[in-house]
Structure 1
């Protein structure tokens, strides 16, 4: 199956076998003409017919209409992605949000195998997520269910790109971690430098990650209480800092996730890295046949 993972920086594609093996892989910069980049990826991977196509795309999106309007791809507003890819490949197409595809990928071939109710989270430039319940993706009315990055954790907090305030993304994303630390004297260039400073004992950097981990933990607590989760898998660039993020997440859960049915809730790092979205998109494609 052909899997595509569309983001604001790059478009990745892969051919994935029925056993979850990533057979081939290609990427192109998203650039100013995202569909041209997507077309090039498809040509690199599948110059001939394919049985089906699964697409992971940044949101928001409308899976009923087959359209996308990613915040980080301004040239696509209500873009008819499903129809255009169907025309390009001649194959049936399945579309889902990138957070849901990350969760599906980890459930199929990564850290989520065997879970009956899991949340996948991506903590990176933004914060996204998706739910896999009873082995099936929870899509919601429009395909945007599980977007945990916009759970409000600070009602009077910073403005968010979604138009609200105080979403977990405004505290825990890499961009906002660095912004908060810079407002308190940190001078490093990015989240990687912030992590290095935190490990070297910089109190501002350490507090940035504590706040971020607490925000993620509060969002997980809300999602777990509502959906009776047994597992949360966290991936994305910020999650690569390890215990700087995971320790405050788990400490927050110990304080707030006190319901009896949450006692066995586990939080684990993702295993598939940046390929999780491709695996999830492939799982979508296989659901078409």
Structure 2
């Protein structure tokens, strides 16, 4: 990317400009990631930088557009070579590509017309957006191919906690979008949630919650990654923070899957990289909340890692998106 605000990684050799390029954008509360693919679905380049989440929608859109231009420059192309840009964005995203709700990690994000504003910044290339966890689920389902299930719950645990649903083979969006927002269910205690209420899953399992709860107990302002490292080193306070997070995740997944009869949950996000800290309490909580059928809920970790949302967003502008 031009300038020094982010990092750019080439995923393959430089190529000549050609048509059929598609970009996928992942706009999260912490980082924005862009991938560039071609007609053969080859990953050509990618770039990421910090999301200016506190500077409003215009700054976020400027950052995304700059990253897209950067990956195009990496392969010797310009926006005219793009056939489309897909966006997976944090928040509740309307069918028309507008942010209708967002957590308090963002300022000035609600009301942003993603499709319109990003297209305007990229020479009117078609843009299509959806919630980031729905894009994550779309990508993970594509990775499963012929083994794609008909029912699944996706849970992404990063700065916050988000969810998405596949029911009867279709991605479920619900009335006014927002279906699957598992981060804002539950009554697990009195911790404040980013939505302004208390006790929700996100208040215990999201990255911000982990750092806040550890700081409250120790006065150490550590990142979630550092808290995880300390837990792995035997820090009892850090271990307790992750124990509670895993238990709350398991309880919330059990409640959500039980309501819809779903027996598969796909987990991703930065906090899930600390799976060895979350696995035991999460699975124990799930065993305590079995499905009515008696089947256990299978847990599958993301196959695509940090690229999942951006790759799912690319599918939105593929020739035959589902």
Shared fold by TM > 0.5? yes
CA RMSD, 1 decimal: 2.5
Q: 2:61 maps to what in 1? A: 35
Map 1:47-86; keep pairs closer than 5 Å: 47=78, 48-64=80-96, 66-67=98-99, 70-71=102-103, 72-86=105-119
Alpha-carbon contact 2:99-2:109 (below 8 Å) kept: no
Counterpart selection for 2:248 from 200, 210, 215? 215
Equivalent in the alignment of 1:270: 302
**What SS does structure 1 have at the residue aligned with 2:165?**
strand
1:236 equivalent in structure 2: 269
8 Å Cα contact 1:149-1:167 kept in structure 2: yes
| Change beyond 3 A, Cα 1:112–1:168 | farther
- 2:157 counterpart of 1:123: yes
Greater alpha carbon shift after TM alignment, 205-214 vs 113-122: 113-122
* 1:260 partner SS: coil
Residue of structure 2 in register with 1:145 after alignment: 179
Once the two structures are TM-superposed, the CA of residue 98 in structure 1 deviates from its matched residue by: 0.9
Higher relative contact order (CA closer than 8 Å, sequence separation 6+): 1
Structure 1 window deviating more from structure 2 (44-53 vs 68-77): it is: 68-77
Please tell me whether the aligned partners of residues 97 and 114 of structure 2 are also in contact (alpha carbons under 8 angstroms).
no
User: Number of paired residues?
Assistant: 287
SS of 1:149's partner is helix
Preserved contact between residue 91 and residue 99 of structure 2 (Cα < 8 Å)? no
Q: 1:204: Cα distance to partner? A: 2.2
Find the aligned partners of 2:213 and 2:90 in 1 and give their Cα distance. 25
The answer (yes or no) to whether the contact 1:120–1:232 under 8 Å persists in 2 is yes
- 1:169 has 2:190 as partner: no
Stretches of structure 1 that go unaligned for 5 or more consecutive residues are: none
Please point out which of 229, 236, 242 is paired with 1:196: 229
SS at match of 1:229: coil
The one of 177, 181, 192 equivalent to 2:214 is 181
1:144-199 CA-to-partner distances (Å, cap 9, x unmatched) read: 21111111232x52221212211100011122223223333374722223223322
Match of 1:107 among 141, 146, 151: 141
Confirm whether residue 281 of structure 1 aligns to residue 313 of structure 2. yes
Cα deviation per residue 1:41-75 (whole Å; 9 max; x = unaligned)?
A: 22223412322221101103322463455433313
- Give runs of ≥4 in structure 1 deviating > 6 Å: none
1:111 and 1:198 map into 2 onto residues whose CA distance is 36
Q: 1:66 to 1:51 in 2, by over 3 A?
A: same
- Alignment match of 2:127 (pick from 81, 89, 93): 93
1:23 matched to which residue of 2? 44
TM-score using structure 1 length? 0.88
TM-score where L is the length of structure 2: 0.80
Give 5+ residue unaligned stretches, structure 2. 1-21, 73-77
